[in-house]
């Protein structure tokens, strides 16, 4: 999940799109080069165990971000939070007022390959 400050996104759309592109590219790298990423994590001191890092990279479905609907995901979790009283807005209002899929949709087309 990626979130951005509404004012920052409005004032800096190019920076916002570049940041989102970098995150999505990193996700693709984790999916396609798990060995390389696991070595990077060990060499960078983020973890000591290569085998654990490699297993985690294999278990997390990094490569599926193109397949899922972010709107459906927000709707699902917003409904759960609404049902237990943690949020007052309905899922429809949360999506209408709090989401902007423009950058993601553009990057999906751009990063199709």
| Secondary structure letter of residue 21 according to DSSP | H
Residue 64 has pLDDT above 90, yes or no: no
Residues with Cβ within 8 Å of residue 70, at least 6 apart in sequence: 99, 101, 104
pLDDT confidence tier of residue 1, bands split at 50, 70 and 90: confident
Q: What is the pTM of this model?
A: 0.77
C-alpha count within 13 angstroms, C-beta hemisphere, residue 45: 0
Domain range list for the chain? 1-66, 68-100
Token pair 């390389």 in the structure block, residue: 36
Pick the closest to residue 56 from 78, 41, 75, 74 (CA basis).
41
Would you place residue 74 in the very low, low, confident or very high pLDDT band (cuts 50, 70, 90)?
very high
């Amino acid at each position: 999940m990626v979130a951005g400050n509404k004012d920052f996104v409005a004032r800096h759309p190019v920076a916002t799109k570049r940041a989102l592109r970098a995150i999505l590219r990193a996700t693709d790298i984790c999916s396609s080069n798990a060995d390389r990423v696991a070595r990077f994590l060990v060499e960078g001191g983020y973890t000591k165990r290569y085998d654990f890092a490699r297993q985690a990279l294999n278990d997390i479905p990094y490569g599926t971000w193109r397949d899922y609907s972010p709107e459906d995901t927000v709707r699902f979790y917003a409904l759960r939070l609404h049902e237990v009283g943690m949020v007052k807005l309905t899922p429809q209002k949360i999506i209408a007022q709090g989401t902007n899929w423009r950058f993601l949709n553009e990057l999906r087309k751009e990063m199709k390959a």
